[in-house]
Each structure stands twice: as C-alpha cells, then as structure tokens.
Chains A and B, each alone.
Chain A
Amino acid sequence: MLKLENISVTYGRKDNTFNALENISLNIQEGEFLTVTGKSGCGKTTLLNVVGGIRKPGRGSYFFENENVLAFSDKQMAKFRNLNISFIVQHFALIQDRSVHDNIALPLIYRRMPRKLIDEKVETVLKSVNIDSKRNKYPFELSGGESQRVAIARAIVTEPKVIIADEPTGALDEETGHIIINILKELNKSGKTIILVTHDLELAEEGTRKICMRDGRII
C-alpha cells in the first residue's frame, strides 16, 4: 500500500547540515498497525512528515497505492492528504477559536463537501468517540482526553486509509492514554492502517509491527 525507498532528508545548508533520514526504505501493508520507536531526534517525526506528504524528501521515492507521491503538485498533494491520510498529534492540533464541531468539520470543508453532509458525518463521528455532548464546546473547555478524542474524530471523519499518530498519548494520563490506544486499535480492526510514533516501548508492543529508529535509520 505504502512504499518508501531510499528516503533521505537533510536539514540545514552548506556545512551546517543534519541528516534526519538516511536511506530509509519501508513497506507498509493495508491494515497494519505499525509502531515506530526511537530516541528524540532519531527521525521519527520527519518520517511521519514524509509519509503524510508534509515534507518532500531530498532523495528517494514514495509510492502510495502505486502512485508516485513525490511527483504530486501542491494541489494534488493536498488532495492526497485529504483523501488518504489523517493526523493525530501529541498536543491535539485543535483550533482554539473554533467549536468541537467546526474543528472536526475542517477536513470535510476542504474536501468541498455540502454543509448538510458535513453536519451528518460530524455527528456520526462525535457519537463514535463518545463526545457528542461536547459538540458546541471550544477546545479550551475540554480535558486532555476529550481534546484527543476530538482530534481522533477529526482524523476519522474523512474515512482515511492511513492514520498517522505522533505521540497521541504523550500529553495524557495513563488511563486516558489507554482509552485512546484502544480507540486506535478499534480503528485498526475496522481496516485503517495506523502508524504510531511513541517513546513508550510498552505502547509500541500494541502494534502488529514495530520498527525502531536511530540516527535517521531503521535498525
């Protein structure tokens, strides 16, 4: 489904450069729950940026369902993200001056979906993650667990093929973290491909496959 070949990413210019990724090759099958572990600065987030189409690598190739992602224009890349990839991040990435409903609706708005359909879909996912009573609240009125549920709702409302989760439990207490992981596992069971980045080795065991990174390489 997702194939990375010899991906390299370098930050900085001239003499002051840093190789965030070095010749990374990775195949991810549909329905996999891949966990990525490694120390800070080992290149985990950069890998997610490449997989999510946020950053184009300096070298290598990236195929998603046999399509050359790196050949996409900005517009095609936006469409690729909107249709196939969703992100769940450590600090939720919710827009503070928009309600829960509006935060979840955001990817559907950029998909140019009719307002009525958007409302229906948002309502469905609100119920599925059990936060339908919070639809009119603002992110600053929610707890950490509730915020992450909103972020998950926003991630699944587009019915993406791949969900990228970068330390989704990092800002949560243990109990809430478990709930979130269970939701991700449920999503994986329903057929979604999950890529989870974590420091937590115990959490990394929850996946169907585990990779570890060091100094920009998979070890």
Chain B
Amino acid sequence: MISNYASNILKILNKHKLLSFLMIAFVFVTLLILGFTVDIQQITEKTAIKYEETYGNKAFFYTGESLSDNIYYRYLEDNNDKDFHKLLQFKNKLINSDSFLYTELIEQPLEIINYEIPEIFLVGYESGNSSINKYDGNDSYATKALIVSHSFFEEFSVEVSDGNSFSEEDYLFSEDKEIPLLLGSAYKESFKIGDKFKGYYYLEEKTFIIKGYIKEQSFFFSRSDYDFVSCERYMIVPSIKVEKATEFSKILLLQQMRGMISSTLGYEQTLEIYKQYLSESGIKEWELYIVNPNPETYSVLEMYTAMTNEVSHQFNIMVFIILIFGCITMIIVICGMLKENHFIFGVSLLCGASFRDIVFETLGLVGSILLSGDLLVTLTMLLQSAKPVSFLIVQAAVIIITTISCTACVLYLKRMDVSDIIGGKE
C-alpha cells in the first residue's frame, strides 16, 4: 500500500514537474531566507547583549591637558624631575583607580616612511584628503593609528585574531627596541606578521614590527567621532610606560594624559574623584581636565541597544511574514494540485479507496515537497556553518508549514464532491 502511495505521489509530482520544481525551489528559498534571517537575528541579539554586558550604563569621559605656559615650561625644565614624578603619580592613580577604568587612547597618525601604505589606511581617506607628506626627501604616509594602554583591550573587548597581543615588555621603552604594532583586520591583504618599516613615534624615528592582527568586528569609542569606530583600518601602537624623567618621557607622559575614563558613577562624581587624585598628587592647580563630551552619553549607548533591539524585532516580524507567506503559497499551490487531481481522487474513491487513503497521498505530496526543500536548505546551511538555533527554527518552521498545509488539504478533501465523476449534480 505504501508503495502505491509513493507511486501516486511520484505520478502527481511528475505530472506537475515544473510546478513541483518551482515549489521545491520556493520552499528552499523561503526556508533559506528564514534560516539566514534567524542567523542574522542571533548575531544582532548577541551584539546587543555584548554591548549591554560591555558597556551597560557606563559613560565615557575624555581627559586631556591644556597646561599654561608657565607650568608647561617649568615641567619640561631639565632639572625638574619633581613635576614629572607628580604627574606620573597622578597617572598611576588614574590607572589603579577602583572607581573607574582609565584608558590611554590617543588617536594620532603614525608617520610611516618610504613604505607604501594603501590609501584606505591613510588619515583623511574618507574625506578624499589622504596625506602623503615629504620629510627630508622621504615619502611619509600619515596612517591612522591608536596609541593605547593595556586597558584598551579590556575596555572594548578587542582581541587579536592572528599573531600575539602586546606583552608587558611591549609597553616598556627602549631606544634600540622595535615598536610592535597590531593591525586592523583590513590590513591582512597588505601586510604580514613580522613585516618591518620605519616611522615616527612622537617625532622620533623608530622601527615598527607587525606583531598581529585585530579580530574583525572590533570597535573602539572615538573621541573625535564621538561614536564607535571599527578598528579594521587602524594601527594599534602600545603606549609606552615611562619612569625616568627625560625630555622624551616628559612629553610622552603629558601626551598620555589624553585618555578616556569609563565610569558608572556619572560625570559629577567622576570629576570629584579626578580632582581628588590631582590634589593627592600635588598638581591640583594644573590644567588637567576631564570632560563630559556630550551630556547625552548614556543615550548613545541606549540608542545602540534600542537599535539592535529594533533590528531584532524587525527580524522577528520578517520571520513571521515568511512563515505566513510560505503557508499561504503552499496551501494555494497544493490545493491547486489537488483540484487538478480531483478526478484521480474521485476514481480512487469509486474504486474503494478510503478518505484516509486519499489524505495519506495528499500529505505525502505536501511532505515530499517540503522535505525536499528542507533537505536542500539544511545542506546549504551546513555548508554555510549556520548556527544550531537557525537549524532548529527552520525545522520548526517546516513542521508548522507542514501542519498548516496538511490541515488545509484535509479540509479541502473533506469538502471535495466526487459525485460528478458518475454524472454530476442534477
């Protein structure tokens, strides 16, 4: 009997070759869209959760310096180690604070000499003003770079995909040492780990060596853009720790006052703590500042969460629409097929087939179309390494569409009048 069902189903499919093929293709495309929509939804939700976990209700405040000439030149005097150590003490207080996280984050171009850097990595590329300068007859490429402390990686969950991250040693200054670099993922096609080139680091010519690549989809909060910016086109340079009061280290230390504080305490309270550290370090009167760049900082983060939630919500609507669309199309086409095979079903009933026999054949027809599409989608999703949740949702969708389509078919068959086979209504 089962072979008879199978034979009948194959005959109907064969009779409607083109329609069957189109339906399988439709099921395939519908389920594929559903699968990938769910996949994207998962990524979006994950991103939303990551944002929430990473930033929560944190706010970012910028720090900087605008020392008066008087203090600045006194600080740079050769015989003035005292002010250097005061400032170093202040910086250490910021770094070791239990109240907030201080990150040295200086967006400063790296001038790379005589080493051709693709234009997309140069400062001003986006505005069409990428700068290639001449220094002492050499080409100098102003490359986008971030000078960062160790906490940068923790603060923005930035990870290294290839090569190694910065070690403790990489943050220590040495005249002869090459300065390690981590490159954004977009650099992968242009450089390889171990490549060396010369460039300027705080106006001193240094040799740089590529140590690794930053993972794709890594972002940092840019003080110039006041937004999250991808790391993919940036070179990441370690912010050197200084201890001895040389002219170079004094300049470096002062530069390192330009950073970012992330805090959950709010601006006023964070400012109080900042001032307290200044006071404790004996530099209360120095023009070192902390600013709340935008009082709506919280809103930005909320906006990101809201955006991802909205996208996720829209994906849910899409999934729902796809399901409804799939069901309706399936029902229309299958009922069309049943209508065309009304005669065969009628003859079968006259020959002693039960209603159940006809229903089984019909359900087999629905199942064979849906399962063929499902099989193709499953294989495609396996090849595309889709997420397990997407597989489950696609299978659930197949079950839902099958159930609804089969119910509609059974209702249709129940209403089918085969009396016309032997003469019709009179």
Contact = CB atoms under 8 A, between A and B. Distances in A.
Contact of B344 (A11, A78, A95, A167): A95
B351 A110 contact: yes
Nearest to A75: B354
B354 A78 contact: yes
- Interface of chain B, helix or strand or loop or mixed? helix
A89 B4 contact: no
A112 to B, nearest CB: 6
B332 interface: no
A43 interface: yes
Most A CB contacts (10 A, CB to CB) among B349, B354, B419, B423 go to B423
A106 interface: yes
Given A11-B425, A40-B426, A112-B1, A49 B355 contact: no
A25 interface: no
Given A55-B419, A78-B357, A89-B421, A158 B352 contact: yes
Interface in A36-78: 40-46, 48-49, 52, 54-55, 74-75, 77-78
Interface in B333-350: 343-344, 346-350
A26 interface: no
A88 B349 CA distance: 13
B137 interface: no
Contact of B352 (A55, A74, A111, A164): A111
B22 interface: no
Contacts of A77: 354
A106 B348 contact: yes
Interface size class, chain A:
35 or more
A207 interface: no
Contact of A45 (B4, B350, B354, B424): B424
A41 B349 contact: no
B164 to A, nearest CB: 69
B418 interface: yes
Contacts of B349: 54, 78, 81
Given A109-B1, A112-B1, A78 B353 contact: yes
A87 B240 CA distance: 98
B352 A48 contact: no
Nearest to B417: A55
B15 interface: yes
Interface in B375-398: none
A49 B422 CA distance: 8
A201 interface: no
B350 A81 contact: yes
A79 interface: yes
A28 B141 CA distance: 107
B50 interface: no
A20 B424 CA distance: 12
A93 B350 contact: yes
A21 B343 CA distance: 25
A120 interface: no
Most A CB contacts (10 A, CB to CB) among B15, B351, B357, B423 go to B351
Nearest to B4: A109
B415 interface: no
Nearest to A115: B3
Contact of B421 (A93, A98, A112): A93
B7 to A, nearest CB: 9
A82 B352 contact: yes
A44 B352 contact: no
B245 to A, nearest CB: 97
A176 interface: no
Nearest to A98: B11
A95 B347 contact: yes
Contacts of A75: 354-356
Interface string B394-426: 000000000000000000000000110111111
Nearest to A45: B423
12 contacts: A40-B426, A42-B426, A77-B354, A78-B354, A81-B349, A87-B350, A87-B422, A89-B422, A110-B357, A158-B352, A164-B422, A197-B423
Interface of B: 1, 4, 11, 14-15, 343-344, 346-357, 418-419, 421-426
Given A54-B418, A74-B354, A158-B352, 18 more contacts: A40-B426, A41-B426, A44-B423, A44-B426, A45-B422, A54-B349, A54-B419, A75-B356, A81-B350, A83-B352, A89-B423, A93-B422, A95-B343, A97-B14, A106-B347, A109-B1, A166-B422, A166-B423
Interface of A: 11, 20, 40-46, 48-49, 52, 54-55, 74-75, 77-79, 81-83, 87, 89-90, 93-95, 97-98, 106-107, 109-112, 154, 158, 164, 166-167, 197
